[in-house]
Amino acid sequence: MKRAKLRGLKRNAAVVLGNVGSAQDVPSLISALSDEEPLVRGHAAWALGRIATSAALAAIHMALLSEADSDVRAELSAAADSISVRSSPSESK
């Protein structure tokens, strides 16, 4: 059986945190936004969007300023939009 490479392990960790993580996990995910692997950065962005704290949103915005990979930029933008939608006040009818 083949073992997962480190990037796969980091990606899997980000997925787990996105599914069951909390605000306590945001610093680790923010660090992952600087990983050398785009796969890890993209999944960290997704996870931050799921946890949806103000610190997560700030980190996503900062990462967008310097991210060169188009797939990671797309994931960062989607995460930012997800957080913005959750935190915006409901429209009155």
The answer to the question of residue 79 being in a domain is: yes
The answer to the question of residue 47 being in a domain is: yes
The answer to the question of residue 9 being in a domain is: no
Q: Give the burial string for 44-77 (b: 16+ CB within 10 Å, else e).
A: bbbbbbbbbeeebbebbeebbeebeeeebbebbe
The answer to the question of residue 6 being in a domain is: no
Would the pLDDT of 78 be above 60? Answer: yes
Q: Which domain holds residue 44?
A: 25-83
The answer to the question of residue 32 being in a domain is: yes
The answer to the question of residue 45 being in a domain is: yes
pTM: 0.89
pLDDT tens-digit map of 14-64: 999 999 999 999 999 999 999 999 999 999 999 999 999 999 999 999 999
The answer to the question of residue 90 being in a domain is: no
Predicted pLDDT of residue 91: 44
**Which of 1-5, 9-13, 53-57 shows the lowest per-residue confidence on average (mean pLDDT)?**
1-5
Predicted pLDDT of residue 2: 75
| Residue 90 confidence class, pLDDT cut points 50, 70, 90 | low
The answer to the question of residue 19 being in a domain is: no
**Is 88 or 15 the better-scoring residue by pLDDT?**
15
The CATH number of the domain holding residue 38 is 1.25.10
